[in-house]
Chain A
Amino acid sequence: MKGCLTRREFMTLAALTCAAPALAAAVSGGAAVAEPQRPKQSAGTEREVYFYDKLPDKMVQCQICPKKCKVGDAERGFCGNKENHGGKYVSLAYGNPCSINNDPIEKKPLFHFLPGTNAFSLAAAGCNFDCKFCQNWEISQSRPEQMRNIDLPPGRAAEAAQQAGSRTIAFTYSEPTVFYEYMYDCAVAGRKRGLRNVMISNGYINPKPMRKLCKTLDAVKIDFKAFTEGFYSKVCLGHLQPVLDTLVLLKSERMWFEMVYLMIPTLNDNPADIKRMSGWIMKNLGPDVPIHFTRFHPMYKLKNLQPTPLESLERAYDICKKAGMHFVYIGNVPGHRAENTYCPKCEKAVVRRYGYVIQAIDIDAGRCRFCKTAIPGVWS
């Protein structure tokens, strides 16, 4: 059937993604990365950015994220995947993912969202931050034409997700805010097929596009970098307040969301900051927002630091539990008891995990099987 993605085609896509480095090496003499591609130039394959303003002299101002880049003709914004074409701002990432995987939802991590299911995970090149510790800098800090991309329009992405047996489409790895148009259209296409949609984001997005997006999403995970402006501005090239605003917005939209805090030795592991953060969360978001403290591994520009000591993670865990937060997790430490979900009332484990593997689920219709207490989340 024309336009239909066969299982074989999907497998080919997946294999292509995995094999991209090897293919690139074969073609380019082992030089690494994806064989460079020329930017798309035809208007038919590019998508006009959904939120931007036209300015005099063919300038534009992006309104997707708080950076609000002013971009001259033929130039790109900070994210590197949107370009001003004579006063029209276009996304070069649309239908152009550089990474596709079928991941456990626990890998996102989303612990209170359809546990044990898979998420069809998509990413396009680009990011509105430049975190010195980025785990995916090879794609987040690149431009679309520098990657080996896959031509996958939204309809086919949703179809591929369904054929892969995924219950969810996840927009992830890089920063989906900067491929907003593709994410939004994929989410709409996914909804039509009965799929859920989740966004794995740094939360650095303006309220208007976020509210529009909420109508198509089922869950959001926010990578919360730190509770200090200094960390955001110096380590990530962003700012704290817009992220806090996004968290409050998600709460007001009744969106299910979880937070992840990558704890980096000496940079964002100050117990006093963790205590202030837990107080802010309790006051503004409530006790039921899960937070995952995850272990840092040296990466990108921070190869000089050590992996996070377990004690730091456990100290942060204790601070948040003491503040009254119900669902605190420790990540990247397989086998740790804080990988499990515990009922806040009877304190029994209702979801047992080892890494990304679900060992047992004792939740019935969203309630603890032992004491019938409601466990917040999306369970079916």
Chain B
Amino acid sequence: MRERDKSARADITRREFLGGAGAAAIGLIGMSALGGGIFAESAKAAPQGGKGRSGGRGVVVIGRDPKIWDGAKLNKDKTRDLAFRAVRAFSGADSDVAAWSAFFGPDDRVSMKMNCIGGKKMSTTPAIVEAIAAGLMLAGVSAKNIVAWDRTEWEVRMAGFNTGRDKKGVLYTATDADGIGYDSELTSWGEASSLVSRIASSYSSAMVNVPILKDHDMTGISCAMKNWYGAVNNPNKLHENACDPYIADVNMMSVFREKTKLIVLDATTGQYNGGPGHKPKFTWPFAGLIVGTDPVAVDAVAYHIIDEKRKAEGLPTLKAQGRPPKFLNTAADAKHKLGENRYEKIRIIEV
């Protein structure tokens, strides 16, 4: 047996953490430098059966507008208009306020999980994040209760964001920021066991998954479902067998399954080959976004878009190349039931 090392970590239970108001207050010290303590109150999950998931299983909106690209820059106003149009279409509401309010409310503390690994050119973009933040505020969420995050501050900055609070009060941060970190107790489902970012587990009452449209050399695609790998401490342990069943199992963890109220996949730029690292020669301006609440359907649509682009570029499909995203089948199986993986069964609304 490997000798036990008792020096590295404390065995503080989650209950002790959540129950320790005094300790939580101490935790604010680290965050105060960023403009306010995000752990001021323990998280409460949004009421089940109320807000969220109104678009439902097997429904996806694809919003596209080539005009969002103003040369090499995204036009923020047009990007926001596109995002609002897509969310309105997905919710079926007749106004932006009603659309965003279908998923979020004034009592929520909402975090947006970005994907910032690929640097400025292949990460979640500030234009999309600011558009979502504007939508959340329309639903009555206070700016100071909105957080945009990824796993490290360094990556967040490399993707083009300034860490800290912006002028409106939205906080840009990461799990590795002072005073945040991961849970001390494992969260497990199926074959996956991880420590979850406290932004997801302790801070957020609701979350927006804001991934990107990207090829992945092992899993075929790295889009909505795989984005949660950036919210756990051990993604390196979850890549065996093309991440299957690990991606599906991580998405089954209640913290992600229940708190994620909306997926807004940033497809302003797509990468159809050579991922997950940024390969400029394989990117193209898709000039769009994909909205849904069914993570399997969103990824199935993203898979279709990437494969169509590959065909157009004379590349073999992901399946022909031996790397279809098989995690989609697992995610849709009877054990997981996370959503619809059959592209032909997905209702796609284009705006």
Contact = CB atoms under 8 A, between A and B. Distances in A.
Contacts of A300: 186, 193
Contacts of A332: 1
Contacts of B48: none
B7 A36 contact: no
B153 A38 contact: yes
Chain A CB within 10 A, most for which of B10, B26, B118, B198? B10
A77 B236 contact: yes
B63 interface: no
Task: Tell me the interface secondary structure of chain B in the complex.
Answer: loop
Interface in B1-52: 1-5, 7-10, 12, 16-17, 20, 23-30, 39
A79 B23 CA distance: 33
Contacts of B7: 17-18, 20, 99-101
Interface in A154-186: 172-173
B184 A33 contact: yes
A291 interface: no
A20 B8 CA distance: 7
Contact of A296 (B1, B233, B275): B1
Interface in B243-283: 274-277, 279
B308 interface: no
A78 B197 CA distance: 20
B188 interface: yes
A297 to B, nearest CB: 9
B86 interface: no
B3 A109 contact: yes
Contact of B3 (A143, A148, A173): A173
B178 A35 contact: yes
Interface string A288-312: 0000001110001100000000000
Contacts of A36: 175-178, 180-182
Task: Tell me the interface secondary structure of chain A in the complex.
Answer: loop
B234 interface: yes
Contacts of B275: 72
Contacts of B39: 29
Given A58-B277, A223-B1, A301-B188, A34 B152 contact: no
A133 to B, nearest CB: 9
Interface in A71-88: 72-80
A316 to B, nearest CB: 13
B179 interface: yes
Given A29-B28, A72-B276, A101 B5 contact: yes
Contacts, number: 189
Interface residues of A, number: 70
A304 B153 CA distance: 37
Contact of A31 (B8, B17, B276): B17
A72 B118 CA distance: 12
A32 B217 contact: no
A39 B277 CA distance: 18
Given A141-B237, A143-B236, A134 B152 contact: no
A1 B10 CA distance: 35
Contact of A39 (B5, B152, B179, B202): B152
Given A20-B9, A35-B179, 13 more contacts: A20-B7, A28-B30, A29-B28, A30-B26, A31-B17, A33-B182, A36-B175, A78-B239, A172-B2, A172-B3, A172-B5, A223-B2, A295-B1
Interface of A: 17-18, 20-22, 24-39, 41, 57-58, 72-80, 98-101, 103, 107-109, 121, 123, 130, 134-136, 138-139, 141-143, 145-148, 172-173, 200, 223, 237, 260, 262, 294-296, 300-301, 331-332
Closest 10 pairs (CB-CB, A-B): A29-B27, A32-B184, A21-B10, A30-B23, A73-B277, A262-B1, A80-B236, A173-B5, A36-B176, A138-B9
18 contacts: A29-B24, A34-B181, A36-B178, A74-B276, A75-B276, A77-B236, A78-B237, A78-B239, A78-B240, A98-B8, A100-B7, A101-B7, A130-B237, A141-B233, A141-B234, A148-B8, A173-B3, A173-B5
Interface of B: 1-5, 7-10, 12, 16-17, 20, 23-30, 39, 117-118, 152-154, 175-184, 186, 188, 193, 195, 198, 202, 217, 233-234, 236-237, 239-240, 274-277, 279
